[in-house]
Every structure is written in structure tokens, then in C-alpha cells.
Amino acid sequence: MKRIDVAGVGIAYRVDGHPTEPPVVLLHSAGCDLRMWDLHIAALGERFSLVRADARGHGGSDAPPPPYTVDRFGADAIAVLDALQIERAHIVGESLGGLVALWIAVHHPGRVERAVFSGTAARIGTAETWQERADAVRAGGTEAVADLVMSRFFSPAFRRDHADVVGWFTGVLRAQPAHGYEATCLALRDADLRDEVGAIVAPSLILVGDQDEATPVSDASWLHEMVDGSRLRTLEGAGHLCSVERRATFDEIVARFLRGEEIT
């Protein structure tokens, strides 16, 4: 793990895969860290150089005082690319990471080759629900929202059949600095890119689980309509983190799309 300084905030990152292959930035969900992509490295690293960073307030990155914003998360990711002297890259984000990927595609179109927006929306949830979650974290830490977050991350069947995976993600959430996760919830409370995503010009793929209750199929369909030329694929039986619940299918579709191949 390496770190860069972004205006006094340390951002942790790492690079895997083949260094001479096209770079792909992988952006994680709120309450997770770059390790959520660990099981994708073997499949995607065969054809790509994989750049992962912990968002501020998460993992090995610093957790400065608020405010956090989607703009700041996006600028941190761009700073990692700058540090690595990467001018253009594919970008893949899920949940919060997908929202950040949308922001980058809107505000830094020259840096994006192709984009994958997974389990995300231009406006995730409501201001009220994010404020309630932030208040709960302030009062009781990340433990206070762990069960709620897992119910939003995963479909009921996956939670029942894969308790080990759910337990791992629960542990990752609990390990996040409470004030960093609270600040992230407040950033999501305020983030709204609905008036901006129509400007995206990068070839784009939108992925959504058909059991995603956090950013449902209706959100993905709206985004598909707004992003000209985008492709939409629904992953059957998957919840919000469809990259986890349908990992093999996710990796195959993403790899083919990033290589410019036809996807089914």
C-alpha cells in the first residue's frame, strides 16, 4: 500500500495486475475499502493494470474532519491518477464509487476512456435517510448501522447463504472511523448529479442487480436514458453490490466492455 498527500490528507492506494496493460480505476462503496475488489484482481488483472484507492474516511486513507463531498472524493481519485502519471483510464465504480465515477466522467471527460457505473444512481437515496444514518452513527458508531447497511448491500438470499461474506463486509464497516463514515453519509445526503449526467460522453456501461433496493432498476434505467449511447445490463438475483453477488458474471461483462467487445 502506498500513500499520496492531497492537500494535507493522506490517500492510500495500490496498483495490481499488469503495469503495461490499460489502467482501470476501481472505486469502492461507502463503508468499504479497496479490499472489496480483492477477489476481482485475478480475473481483471490479466488484461488490465488495476488502480485502487481508499476513499478519504475509509481504510488506509486519512479521515479528516467534515465536510466530505462527491467532488472531493472525485478529486482524490484524480490526484491518484496524477501521482501515477496516468492521463486516461477506464473507471469502474460501485455504489458510492459509482457516483464518484459519474462525477469524474462529467467533470474530467478527458481522463476517462470507458466507464462502468454499478449499483449506483445520480442521486442515491434521500436526504432524510442519509441524515438519519449519519445521526445513528454519531450516536452509536458504525456498529449501530451495521445490520441496516448489510440489508441494503445484499439480497436476502445472499445474506442467508453467504454469511461468511456478509460477516467480512460487516467487519470492514465496523473498522471504519465513525466520523469518516458519518461524513460520507452527509456527502451522500447532499450529492445530486441528476442535472449533470447528461453531459457524459465516455462509452458507458450501467450494471444493476434486479434485487437492488438501494439503487433500484428504475434508477439504473433513468441513468441509461440520460447517458447517451450507454448500455444497461441487469444481473438476475443480485442485490446492491452485484459485483459481489454475481462476481464471475460481473467480471466477464466488465472485461469485455472495457476491451470494446460485444456484451450480452
| Partners of 5 in beta bridges | 10
Total number of domains in the chain: 1
| Nearest Cα residue to 116 out of 86, 144, 94 | 94
Residue with cell 452513527: 137
Residue 142 lies in a domain: no
Report the pLDDT value the prediction gives residue 159, as an integer from 0 to 100.
98
Mark out the alpha helices in 108-162 (DSSP H runs). 127-140, 146-153, 156-161
Q: Give tens-digit pLDDT for 82-127.
A: 999 999 999 999 999 999 999 999 999 999 999 999 999 999 999 9
Length of the chain: 264
pLDDT in tens, 228-244: 999 999 999 999 999 99
Question: C-alpha grid cell for residue 197?
Answer: 449526467
Residue from 89, 98, 76, 80 nearest 32 by CA = 98
- CATH number of domain containing 91: 3.40.50.1820
Give a yes or no: residue 245 inside a domain: yes
Flag whether 244 is in a domain: yes
Is 164 contained in some domain?
no
Domain assignment of residue 107, given as a range:
2-125+192-258
H-helix or E-strand spanning residue 3: strand 2-6
Amino acid at 120: T
CA–CA gap between residue 78 and residue 116 (Å, rounded): 16
With CA atoms as reference, report the closest residue to 238 among 253, 225, 222: 253
pLDDT number for residue 264: 74
Q: Does residue 263 belong to any structural domain of this protein?
A: no
Is 34 a domain residue?
yes
107 assigned to some structural domain: yes
Report d(CA 197, CA 144) in Å as an integer. Answer: 34
pLDDT of the residue at 85 = 98
- Give me the residues of the chain with pLDDT under 70, please: none
Characterize the bridge pairing of strands 49-53 and 2-6. Answer: unpaired
Residue 26 is assigned to a structural domain of this protein: yes
For residue 172, report the phi and psi dihedrals to the nearest 5 degrees.
-65, -45
